[in-house]
């Protein structure tokens, strides 16, 4: 059975802190790993990672994939209160284009 | 690009009512769309894959007669919750991607409350 596990479940930080979110997976026919941010509504797309070792960056967010160790990390530097959200990791399988989601990490950034 | 619109955003209705939710890809064509369900403080659970012009593929444990999916065009999929009961109350979200190995983009979700 495919598994996507995120850690920690939740964390509370103060503005300006850096956070690192983890995602490990056991998935057959792996194609890509995706990160999403979910606030009150549906998830918004952040990154899609297909190759190991290539860091993707968007502003204060960055992410990298390790296909040998089967995990990915999402970093947020200089956090702001607007970064408060649930961050979801999902794995895209080669067959059927389906996503399997992890349980999410709830991040709360305090002023 | 890659905007997905979902309607309605909120539904409150009586037990026994059937509810239709629409999912549209606004600026691209989607041969495949996906329907998810999310319970409070939980992650997204895939319910079914909606295929344009053919039958939907349902995940294990999802009743196809309860959750009717129609994908009549390349930009529209609908999910109908038939004879809804309180246990069907949930947050339903659709997604679509522009093709294989492309990220899924999500609609804003529909919060369904059955009284």
Strand A10-14 relative to strand A105-110: parallel, antiparallel, unpaired? parallel
Task: Give the pLDDT mean for B35-60.
Answer: 90
Q: What is the tens place of the pLDDT at every residue in B56-84?
A: 999 999 999 999 999 888 899 999 999 99
For residue B52, the model assigns a pLDDT of: 83
φ/ψ of A83, rounded to 5, equals -80, -10
For residue B79, the model assigns a pLDDT of: 97
Q: Do the Cβ atoms of B104 and A99 come within 8 Å?
A: yes
For residue B1, the model assigns a pLDDT of: 65
Taking the Cβ of residue A3 and every Cβ of chain B, the question of whether any pair is shorter than 8 Å is answered with no
Task: Give the pLDDT mean for B1-23.
Answer: 93
- From chain A, the residues in CB contact with B106 under 8 A are 36, 42-45
Beta bridge partners of B45: B37
Q: Do the Cβ atoms of A99 and B46 come within 8 Å?
A: yes
Could you tell me what percent of chain B has a pLDDT over 90?
A: 73
Token pair of A111, please? 């002023």
Beta carbons of B34 and B48 less than 8 angstroms apart: yes
Closest-CA distance of chain B to residue A30, Å: 11
SS3 of residue A9 by DSSP? coil
For residue A62, the model assigns a pLDDT of: 97
How confident is the prediction along chain A (111 residues), in pLDDT tens digits per residue?
789 999 999 999 999 999 999 999 998 889 999 999 999 888 999 999 999 999 999 999 999 999 999 999 999 999 999 999 999 999 998 877 889 999 999 999 999
User: Among the listed ranges A30-39, B24-33, B57-66, B87-96, which one has the minimum average pLDDT value?
Assistant: B24-33
For the range B90-93, what are the long-range contacts, defined as Cβ-Cβ under 8 Å and sequence gap of 24 or more? B90/B37, B90/B38, B90/B39, B91/B37, B91/B38, B91/B39, B91/B40, B92/B21, B92/B35, B92/B36, B92/B37, B92/B38, B93/A42, B93/A43, B93/B6, B93/B35, B93/B36, B93/B37, B93/B38, B93/B44
Taking the Cβ of residue A34 and every Cβ of chain B, the question of whether any pair is shorter than 8 Å is answered with yes
């Amino acid at each position: 059975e495919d598994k996507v596990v995120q850690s920690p479940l939740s964390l509370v930080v103060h503005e300006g802190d850096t956070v690192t979110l983890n995602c490990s997976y056991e998935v057959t026919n792996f194609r890509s790993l995706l990160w999403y941010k979910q606030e009150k509504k549906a998830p918004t797309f952040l990154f899609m990672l297909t190759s190991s070792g290539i860091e993707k960056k968007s502003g204060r967010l960055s992410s990298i994939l390790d296909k040998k160790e089967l995990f990915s990390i999402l970093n947020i530097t200089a956090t702001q209160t607007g970064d408060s959200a649930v961050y979801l990791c999902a794995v895209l399988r080669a067959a059927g284009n389906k996503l399997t989601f992890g349980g999410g990490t709830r991040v709360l950034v305090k002023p | 690009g890659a905007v997905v619109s979902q309607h309605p955003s909120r539904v409150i209705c009586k037990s026994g009512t059937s509810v239709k939710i629409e999912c549209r890809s606004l600026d691209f064509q989607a041969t495949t769309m996906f329907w998810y369900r999310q319970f409070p403080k939980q992650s997204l659970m895939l319910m079914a894959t909606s295929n344009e012009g053919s039958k939907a593929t349902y995940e294990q444990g999802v009743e196809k007669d309860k959750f009717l999916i129609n994908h009549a065009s390349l930009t529209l999929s609908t999910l109908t919750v038939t004879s809804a009961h309180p246990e069907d109350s949930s947050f339903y979200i659709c997604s679509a991607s522009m093709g294989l190995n492309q990220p899924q983009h999500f609609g804003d979700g529909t919060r369904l409350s059955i009284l």
